[in-house]
Amino acid sequence: MAAPVKDPKIQVKRPDESIFKRLTRHQLFIPLAALALLVLFNLIADPTFFAVTVKENSLGNPVLSGNIISVLDNASELVILAIGMTLVTASSGGQDISVGAAMAIAGSVILRMVCGGQVSADTMQTPLVLAVLVGILVSMIFGAFNGALVAYFKIQPMVATLILFTAGRSIAAWINNNQLPIINDLGFKYAGTFLPGIPVPTPIFITILVILLFWLALKFTNLGLYTQSVGINANSSRLNGLDPKLIKLLTYVILGVCVAIAGFVRVSRSGSINYSRIAENIEMDAILAVALGGNALSGGKFNIYGSILGAYVIQFLTTTLYKYEVPSTALPAYKAVVVILLVVLSAPVVQEKLASVRKAPAKAAKEVS
Amino acid sequence: MKKFFALILSLAMILALAACGGNNNQPANDTQAPSDTQEPANNDAQAPADTNEPAAPATGDLITVGVINNDPNESGYRTANDAAMRATFTEENGYKATFYNNNDAAQQIATAQQMVQDEVDFLLLSPASTTGWDTVLQDAQAAGTQVILFDRMLEADESMYVAAVVSDMPAEGKTAVDWLAAQGLDEYNIIHIQGHMGSDAQLGRTGALDEKVAAEANWNYVTQQTADWDEATARTITQSVIDSGKPFNVIYAENNGMARGAVAALDANGITHGKDGDVIVMGFDSDKWAFEAVLEGSWNYMGLCNPLQADTVDSIIKDLVAGNAPAQKIIYTPEQGFDCETLTQADVDTYGT
């Protein structure tokens, strides 16, 4: 009420597509502001945070090292998951909480393949490509299981995926006969560490590749349009000739692929797995990334770049907290603060108030970055 | 909708009936599904036996035991420990055993209480945390259930349990710290990566180091963080220290998995470690691959924590049933520290799991 002139800008988000660009700017406002805040904090507190140095790793390869590299590197799994999670959120209006457990399954399958069933292997028993493909396939099947429950049995996504959330880690352990396999082949670790002669961590390349694939898919296929329309109104999209169930199922299968890639990156960082700990609580971070990206958790319109940015913000926060030696057990509490801020910020009451003062902080954010 | 409710109701009824069945139903949140399949003889036989369960202890056919352990997937140590318990407490060995695995002490306590109510003959405990067990122990005593601790201690009067077959965690920590002190470095800048906070293993291994760091001027913590036994978290913690540029020369990780994670961060940054390296790497437990890392000189030290207590517990129970109290209340599993100078292949074969 205070600023009736500027109100429509925010209210218009849903129905109108002609101002898509403006919308994008608005949607990315929160993650960009959060990122700017973190950057600003680190600049003031300790500018050496941003130092990047070239070192030589133990294999004699030059590698880049520094907090920023750590952020980009460690955020990889989360970014890949957040992309898939955005699609699932958009189509089904709910989130898949089983991604961490599903990563354990994918990682377990891949390790089982490359170790050939042994507890410890010095060389890969199966070609890496085949192992990863099988991991992706298995992960797609589990994604389809989740998707079928959501799309065809109309179970709430969070409840449907609770099944795999509970059972996933046990399944992962069962795949390897409850043993913790270890692969010592350097070739296996390329994906999680460095390729010989290339100073940038490989997960960064994998992430860029995945982002690129999704950019292409959203640009040249109807995936984005169909997902949005199903999420906004499943009935009317059915009347327009789409099959909402199939599209929902498809998004869960796509998330399955993302999960497998993230799981592969995670296990190839160390060449081993710990079923109960691997990617623990990553589902919460992935959902948070989607929310941070300004996507409605109730589905419909989405922006994967917002989620990607959100994922980097979360990792930036984590790395910052580690730098200041916040106990790792206390990290979730800090993330909770972010969630509270987000929820309050996106509440309609606050949005109205903010609309009148929005321009000033937006400018400030640009200057900093 | 009606059908759905009917289904839910019938499920609830079935579950309620099952709950009346007694102590041998696997708790719903048991993470042990995989192992169950490995030992069908053990678990499958339990369900039908439920009905005549009260008769079993009286006739002395089978000794009922409730085994509360941590999550076998938490580490290689726990995997070996859990597997040994499951292999020992089988029907062939004269036991009717119920297993429960959880890293959450509250869940462990709740299940232990249930097992006491179900009047198991013996309650075998590997507590996830050292405190909070008083009520369970009192109830057990009142119900005539004998409590035997394995692997980890808890804070209670000795009269509350009949025996404890445990690792001497403070001694493990002391051995490791003494070894480190013997290395004669000018300055000790330590990255200390802790296990699950409040567990016996963490308290013992942290305690010795804390004492030394407080006592010696040239012993400093670069960072002291818990990674909750997790390799990836340990790697992140180490990487963040490296990124901060603070000098360090010791990694004291409270289990092998976390030491491995820290070493991955060292390798990625070209920091040498082990026998001829800049950084001393220390781990704990019994994993074969860790022994091999020490043997190769990639690590400097591993404190052995013996996971195989099952046989000792087994013989104690058999003695107790025969009417003989154990000679010692607390039995420490034989343990020692190994370093890269003295470790031999024979040790690896003997102690590696």
Query: Pick the residue with more confidence: A338 or B198?
Result: B198
The residue whose two tokens read 């490989």 is: A202
Three-class DSSP category at B112: helix
How high is the mean pLDDT in each 10-residue block of chain A (369 residues)?
A: 45 49 64 88 90 85 90 95 96 95 96 89 92 97 97 95 94 89 90 90 96 96 93 92 94 97 94 87 92 87 93 92 84 82 74 66 52
Which residue in the set A51, A55, A280 is minimally distant from B270, CB to CB?
A55
Determine contact: B278 vs chain A, CB below 8 A.
no
Distance CA A129, CA B47 (A): 44
Q: What is the mean pLDDT of residues B200-222?
A: 94
Q: Which two tokens stand for residue A196?
A: 């010989």
DSSP state of A178: T
DSSP state of A324: T
B330 domain residue, yes or no:
no
B6 domain residue, yes or no:
no
Q: How confident is the model at residue B6 (pLDDT cuts 50, 70, 90)?
A: low
DSSP state of A254: H
The nearest alpha carbon in chain A to B197 belongs to A329
B180 domain residue, yes or no:
yes
Determine contact: B79 vs chain A, CB below 8 A.
yes
Q: pTM to 2 decimals? A: 0.80
Query: Pick the residue with more confidence: B124 or B328?
Result: B124
Three-class DSSP category at A192: coil
Q: A298 to chain B nearest CA, in Å?
A: 24
The answer to whether B307 touches B285, Cβ cutoff 8 Å, is: yes
Q: Which helix (H) or strand (E) holds B151?
A: strand B146-151
The answer to whether A275 touches A104, Cβ cutoff 8 Å, is: yes
Do B233 and B155 belong to one domain? no
Determine contact: B8 vs chain A, CB below 8 A.
no
The residue type of A223 is: L
pLDDT of B60: 55
Instruction: Report chain A residues whose CB lies below 8 A from the CB of B260.
Output: 270, 272
Distance CA B344, CA B295 (A): 7
Do B262 and B209 belong to one domain? yes
Planar angle of CA A364, A365, A367, nearest 5 degrees: 65
Q: What is the CATH number of domain A64-347?
A: 1.10.3470
Do B253 and B341 belong to one domain? yes
B:173-202 residues touching chain A, CB 8 A cutoff: 197
Which residue in the set B235, B270, B289 is minimally distant from A182, CB to CB?
B289
Q: Which two tokens stand for residue A282?
A: 């990553």
pLDDT in tens, B111-169: 999 999 999 999 999 998 888 899 999 999 999 999 999 988 888 888 899 999 998 89
pLDDT of B9: 56
Do B186 and B271 belong to one domain? yes
Interface touch A170/B31, C-beta < 8 Å: yes
Distance CA B218, CA B189 (A): 8
B271 domain residue, yes or no:
yes
Distance CA A119, CA A33 (A): 47
The residue type of B327 is: A
Domain range for B142 is 24-167+307-322
Measured in whole angstroms, the distance separating CA B124 from the mean position of its chain's CA atoms is 13
Do B318 and B207 belong to one domain? no
Backbone torsions φ then ψ of B148, nearest 5 degrees: -125, 125
- Average pLDDT over chain B reads 83
pLDDT of A180: 84
Measured in whole angstroms, the distance separating CA A328 from the mean position of its chain's CA atoms is 20
Q: B112 to chain A nearest CA, in Å?
A: 22
Do B227 and B157 belong to one domain? no
Q: Which residues of A105-133 are buried (b: 16+ CB within 10 A; e: fewer)?
A: bbbbbbbbbbbeeebbbeebebebeebbe
B2 domain residue, yes or no:
no
Interface touch A178/B79, C-beta < 8 Å: yes
Backbone torsions φ then ψ of B97, nearest 5 degrees: -110, 145
Sort strands B280-285 and B337-339 into parallel, antiparallel or unpaired. unpaired
Do B158 and B175 belong to one domain? no
pLDDT of A363: 54
Determine contact: B257 vs chain A, CB below 8 A.
yes
Please compute Rg for chain B using Cα positions.
23
The answer to whether A79 touches A282, Cβ cutoff 8 Å, is: no
Q: Which two tokens stand for residue B257?
A: 């998995």
- The pLDDT of residue B57 is above 80: no
Sort strands B250-253 and B280-285 into parallel, antiparallel or unpaired. parallel
B:82-111 residues touching chain A, CB 8 A cutoff: 83, 103
Q: B72 to chain A nearest CA, in Å?
A: 8
pLDDT of A327: 82
CATH number of the domain encompassing residue B32: 3.40.50.2300
- The pLDDT of residue B274 is above 90: yes
Give the total number of structural domains in chain B. Answer: 2
Three-class DSSP category at B343: coil
Q: What is the mean pLDDT of residues B323-347?
A: 88
The residue whose two tokens read 């013989």 is: B315
Q: What is the mean pLDDT of residues B68-84?
A: 87
Do B193 and B246 belong to one domain? yes
Distance CA A158, CA A146 (A): 10
pLDDT of A27: 75
Could you state, in order of their start, the residue ranges of all structural domains in chain A? 64-347
Q: Which helix (H) or strand (E) holds B100?
A: strand B95-101
Do B257 and B214 belong to one domain? yes
